[in-house]
Amino acid sequence: MPDNPTPGNHGANSYDVAVLGGGSFGTAMAKVLGENGHVVHFWMRDEAQAEEIRRTRINRRYMPAVTLQGDIQPTTDLAEAVRKAEIVLVAIPSKAFRSVIREHSSEFRDGQIVVSLTKGIEEHGFKLMSEILLEELPRCRSGVLSGPNLAGEIVNRELTATVIAAKDPDVRRTVQELLGCEYFRVYANVDIYGVELAGALKNIYAIVAGLASALNMGENAKAMLITRGLAEMSRFAVSLGANPMTFMGLAGVGDLIATCTSSKSRNFRVGYAIGKGQKLEEAVQELGQVAEGIYTLKLVREKSEAIGIYMPLVRGLYEILYESASINAVINSLMMAVQNSDVEFILPRTITQ
Ligand SMILES: NC(=O)C1=CN([C@@H]2O[C@H](COP(=O)(O)OP(=O)(O)OC[C@H]3O[C@@H](n4cnc5c(N)ncnc54)[C@H](O)[C@@H]3O)[C@@H](O)[C@H]2O)C=CC1
Ligand SMILES: O=C(CO)COP(=O)(O)O
């Protein structure tokens, strides 16, 4: 950070922070920031929601049992939130991420820190949120935050760790200082693309794990799915330039474990509902919150086929969700596929497709 950040310097460790997005994760991060003594300009679209939070300190729609502490200022004026902020955290679903940032791009200042919390991919052009930030806010300093961070646990101050990925060491340090506290730890990485892809891709495997759970699969099967999911997502990400070692970290295997083993994950819950026989549309409607994996699945399937990366779990899940394939037929075909390398960074896969 500059010696005298503008506007507003609240002493050694207190910043003005804008949190964009009034859903579960925006609320969770606003809560951590408020408790850490920062001033939070908490932006959401809906004035009734903002007014209710101002009055009750509760985001009833997304976190009904949680009271927000500290200087949290709900607002529907995004321009003002960004103008007042030294650092901006963006927790807007991937479908709306670019349009919200673009509409207000002139409000962001040169050098301002902007961090994406979003775990998704843009539909057109397969862009990640960090790429959107670079395109829309080229003069800001950007980063991405990703890791095993179930919002419902963070708001209960349950012990959690995450990863800030940024090229600029000052961005990494600032975010560690902003968010770190007795229940929340922030580790650093420079592999922005790997951290971000890991967060987006794991949503697909959380759906697979939910499905497996609905089918009462055993622990061996669950472990196989998680581990082969890891092999598949790292194969894909590395082919796009990510560092394979990132997948050994919190944003990779860490987030995969959290979401593939817990019904607190919305993606897991969508998979579970489908495994119990619900239609995708019904499952999503019932959820009432974003499950990025259902969109990411389509984009990754298309991209992996275009660049020739073998992703049998992606292909199988796509057939179940979007082509009405029988779950048993897909499982059978996965189990009967050619038996290949375990860790292909040690023993390369035998190419069979
Ligand atoms: N909830 C969690 O545990 C975590 C979520 N994330 C990521 O954070 C992102 C946001 O997810 P959640 O907050 O959980 O979703 P959510 O479904 O709880 O809330 C979504 C929020 O986005 C807002 N929104 C939707 N379209 C908008 C638009 N066009 N303009 C402005 N706001 C809009 C909604 O009004 C709502 O406030 C997702 O990419 C998710 O993967 C990341 C880590 C953990
Ligand atoms: O990314 C998450 C936890 O790390 C949240 O996962 P869901 O979006 O599936 O709830």
Q: Is residue 29 part of a domain?
A: yes
Q: Average pLDDT, stretch 306-315? A: 98
Same domain for 176 and 225, yes or no, is no
pLDDT of residue 3: 39
Q: What is the CATH number of the domain that holds 325?
A: 1.10.1040.10
Q: Residue 290 belongs to what domain range?
A: 199-335
Within this chain, do residues 163 and 111 fall inside the same structural domain, yes or no? yes
In a domain, 160, yes or no: yes
Q: Check if the beta carbon of residue 44 is closer than 8 Å to that of residue 115.
A: no
CA angle 326, 285, 224 (to 5 degrees): 45
pLDDT tier at 19, thresholds 50, 70, 90: very high
Ligand nearest to the CA of 23: 1
Q: 87 with 168, same domain? A: yes
Ligand 2: nearest atom to the Cα of 268 = 9
Residue 341 lies in a domain: no
Copy the structure tokens of residue 164: 């800030």
Report residue 352's pLDDT band, with 50, 70 and 90 as the boundaries: low
Ligand 2 neighbourhood includes 246 CB (under 6 angstroms): no
Answer yes or no: is 268 within a domain.
yes
Is the model's pLDDT at 1 over the cut of 70?
no
Residue 256 covered by a domain: yes
When pLDDT is averaged across residues 268-294 and rounded to a whole number, the result is: 96
Q: Which of 92, 102, 184, 289 to mutate to test the pocket of ligand 1 (most atoms within 8 A of CB)?
A: 92
Positive or negative, the CA dihedral 32, 35, 39, 45 is positive
Q: Residue 290 annotated as binding?
A: yes
- Cα–Cα distance between 247 and 233 in angstroms, integer? 9
Task: Say yes or no: 133 and 247 in one domain.
Answer: no
Instruction: Decide the pairing of beta strands 141-146 and 58-59.
Output: unpaired
Among 130, 163, 190, which residue terminates a domain? 190
Percent of the chain with pLDDT over 90: 95
Rounded to the nearest whole angstrom, what is the distance from the C-alpha of residue 148 to the centroid of ligand 2? Answer: 8
> Which two structure tokens, joined as six digits, stand for 276?
């119990």
- 113 has a pLDDT exceeding 80: yes
Is residue 101 situated within a structural domain?
A: yes
Pocket of ligand 1 (CB under 6 A): 21-26, 44-45, 62, 91-94, 96, 100, 117-120, 149-151, 289-290, 292
Judgement on whether residues 58 and 123 belong to the same structural domain of the protein: yes
* Domain stops at, among 159, 190, 221: 190
The DSSP symbol for 128 reads B
- Is 288 a known ligand-binding residue? no
C-alpha of residue 210 to centroid of ligand 2, in Å: 13
Nearest to 118 by CA among 254, 244, 296, 248: 296
Note whether residue 344 is domain-resident. Answer: no
Domain boundary among 148, 165, 190: 190
The Cα–Cα gap between 312 and 299 comes to 15
108 near 88, Cβ under 8 Å? Answer: yes
Residues 148 and 44 in one domain: yes
- Is 255 a known ligand-binding residue? yes
Same domain? For 35 and 184 the reply is yes
Q: Do residue 208 and residue 283 come from a single domain?
A: yes
Q: Give every strand in the sheet of 184-189, ordered side by side.
A: 72-75, 39-43, 16-20, 87-90, 113-116, 141-146, 160-165, 184-189
The CATH number given to whatever domain includes residue 58 is 3.40.50.720
Whether 343 is covered by a domain: the verdict is: no
Closest-approaching ligand to the CA atom of 62: 1
Is it the case that residue 168 has pLDDT exceeding 80? yes
Catalytic residue, chosen from 127, 202, 298, 303, is 202
Residues 20 and 154 in one domain: yes
Tell me what the mean pLDDT of segment 126-141 comes to: 98
325 known ligand binder = no
Residue 4 has pLDDT above 90, yes or no: no
In this prediction, residue 13 has a pLDDT band, given cuts at 50, 70 and 90, of confident
Mean pLDDT within 38-56: 98
Per-residue burial over 289-312, b if 16 or more Cβ lie within 10 Å, else e, is ebbbbbbbbbbbbebbeeeebbbe
Which tens digit of pLDDT belongs to each residue from 60-72?
Answer: 999 999 999 999 9
Active-site residue, 202 included: yes
Q: State mean pLDDT over 271-291.
A: 96
DSSP 199: H
What is the distance in A from the centroid of ligand 1 to the CA of 187? 23
Q: Whose CA is nearest to atom 19 of ligand 1?
A: 23
| Strand 72-75 with 39-43, pairing | parallel
CA distances from 1 to 6, 33, 84, 177, 284 (A): 10, 17, 15, 11, 41
**DSSP alpha helices (H): ranges in the chain?**
24-35, 47-56, 78-84, 94-103, 129-136, 151-154, 169-179, 192-214, 219-239, 255-260, 266-275, 280-287, 293-307, 312-322, 327-335
Q: How many domains does the chain have?
A: 2
Beta carbons within 8 Å of 55's beta carbon, 6+ residues apart: none
pLDDT for 346:
93
Q: Work out the end-to-end distance of the chain between its first and last CA atoms, rounded to an integer number of angstroms.
A: 50
ipTM above 0.95, yes or no: yes
Q: Are residues 38 and 113 in the same domain?
A: yes
